[in-house]
Amino acid sequence: MSTQPGIIRLAVIDTDSSFLTVLGKRLEGAGWEHRVLADSVPTEELVAMKLNALLVDVSVLGPRAWDFLEEICGAVPGLGVLVCTTQSTVAQRVRGLRLGADDWISKPCHPEEVMARIEAVVRRRKRAAARADVGPVVVGELEIRPDQYQALVSGQSIGLTRREFELLQLLAEAHGQVIEREDIYQKVWGYAMAHGDRSVDVFVRKLRQKLQRHSASWRYIHTHFGIGYRFEPEPIGEAGEGGVEVPAAPADDPVVSEAELLDASNGAGSTVA
């Protein structure tokens, strides 16, 4: 494959000949560079391909699919990873996305939608890569490391997923400013938020839980109900000193179950990320 700037370079792990034929024609018409793989390949080979995105049907890989997803998403953080498969369960989709997949598409699907989702993921990866050039940011007890896609407390990673890190980084870059939920979704997920989608609230809640677990004496993310969120670290117990704190609900966010997250995200497509 060539390395011309601006061209999307995609690898597809799939054996569905009908799907590959239709998708291949659309990809060629759009000027994308792509190659089809019948099975998983070592991480170093994927890196050598200089890909923007990987589209994988996990059914082709069988039981090895989960280990492969986890390895690729962890070892190549700049690679957009999308799953495109049939007959998936809620548990499978949740597992794949938690392992680091950026999107999950259910077959049958239209090739134009597949390409649009790939483009959205690639845009997010490029924005994240640009931000990774920025040095570490230290706020409160938290050290944000764009080069590692992680946040650390006392030198220990707090175990963020890629999506959670992108959310934290976005909020931290707007330190002290309120970001509306719709803007967060657009910038982190890559497309417009559907009405009723609560993915942002769910991911903020999960991010808060990890921050609280590792840095219990600080509060980092503040809720502006009906609007969005603000990142402004402050020691717990000092809220309201010198100013008025935004009123908080008992759990600071609506409690949203994983099933609600799946339902809400499926309303915007077949994605839970």
Residue 3 lies in a domain: no
pLDDT in tens, 150-203: 899 999 999 988 788 889 999 998 999 999 999 998 888 766 777 788 889 999
73 and 166 within one domain: no
Domain range for 199: 134-266
44 and 95 within one domain: yes
Residue 104 lies in a domain: yes
Question: SS3 letters for the chain?
Answer: CCCCCCCCEEEEECCCHHHHHHHHHHHHHCCCEEEEECCCCCHHHHHHCCCCEEEECHHHHHHHHHHHHHHHHHHCCCCEEEEEECCCCHHHHHHHHHCCCCEEEECCCCHHHHHHHHHHHHHHHHHHHHHHCCCCEEECCEEEECCCCEEEECCEECCCCHHHHHHHHHHHHCCCCEEEHHHHHHHHHCCCCCCCCCHHHHHHHHHHHHHHHHCCCEEEEEEECCCEEEEEEEECCCCCCCCCCCCCCCCCCCCCCHHHHHHHHHCCCCCCC
233 and 116 within one domain: no
pLDDT of residue 167: 92
141 and 127 within one domain: no
pLDDT in tens, 88-122: 888 898 888 878 888 999 999 999 999 999 998 99
Q: Tell me: pLDDT of 78 over 60.
A: yes
Number of domains into which the chain is organized: 2
pLDDT in tens, 39-56: 888 888 888 888 999 999
- Residue after which a domain boundary falls, among 78, 103, 131: 131
69 and 150 within one domain: no
Whole-prediction pTM value?
0.58
- Residue after which a domain boundary falls, among 131, 146, 175: 131
- Find the CATH number of the domain harbouring 235: 1.10.10.10
- Residue after which a domain boundary falls, among 115, 131, 147: 131
